[in-house]
């Protein structure tokens, strides 16, 4: 199973290298381990995260693409869909099948047709437009809904931290 996963990950890496999406650079942390990748994501323009450069780690299971990777922000980031420990909570990263809570349809969850590129574009999308209705970080979700200006100030602070200023 791991052999098929490595083959798939190598193909995805090649595609990302030849035609990278704007604002994203990604690849294995080392040539010896294709199951752990690092990705740099540029904060989307006209969003509270504009100008930031955020480091993420993708950890792939041995049965990838049958199951999704985990994605974690290394930098501190104050965002409704990112847990305080940096783990990202988006539908595309949830295991395939029916949602036990009934919140998501099975079509929104992981399927083997997804890719690293689609995952990273989904993360870029939530940076631009958070889903505050289903927050992983309740404080960020509440602030985003109830006091947007304060949310923007906190988000901008994480942008400055991501740049080391």
- What pLDDT was estimated at residue 66? 95
Length of the chain measured in residues: 165
- What pLDDT was estimated at residue 1? 61
Which residues of the chain carry a pLDDT beneath 70? 1, 98-102, 104
- What pLDDT was estimated at residue 18? 95
- Answer for the pair 140, 73: CB distance below 8 angstroms, yes or no: no
User: Which residues are annotated as catalytic?
Assistant: 89
- What pLDDT was estimated at residue 97? 75
Q: What angle, rounded to 10 degrees, do the helices at 2-18 and 116-128 form?
A: 60
- What pLDDT was estimated at residue 100? 67
Q: How many CB atoms lie within 10 A of CB 156?
A: 17
- What pLDDT was estimated at residue 165? 81
Whether domain 1-163 has CATH 3.10.110.10:
yes
| Cα–Cα distance, 52 to 93 (Å, whole number) | 23
């Amino acid at each position: 199973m791991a052999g098929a996963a490595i083959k798939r990950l190598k193909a995805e890496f090649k595609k990302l290298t030849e035609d990278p999406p704007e604002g994203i650079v990604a690849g294995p942390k080392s040539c010896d381990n294709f199951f752990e990748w690092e990705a740099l994501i540029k904060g989307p323009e006209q969003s509270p995260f504009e100008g930031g450069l955020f480091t993420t780690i993708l950890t792939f299971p041995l049965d990838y693409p049958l199951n999704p990777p985990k994605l974690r922000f290394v930098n501190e980031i104050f965002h409704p869909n990112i847990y305080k420990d940096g783990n990202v909570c988006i539908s595309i990263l949830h295991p395939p099948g029916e949602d036990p809570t009934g919140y998501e349809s099975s079509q929104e969850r992981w399927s083997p047709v997804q890719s690293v590129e689609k995952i990273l574009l989904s993360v870029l999308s939530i940076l631009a437009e958070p889903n505050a209705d289903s927050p992983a970080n309740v404080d960020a979700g509440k602030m985003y809904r109830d006091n947007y200006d304060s949310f923007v100030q906190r988000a901008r602070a994480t942008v400055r931290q991501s740049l080391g200023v």
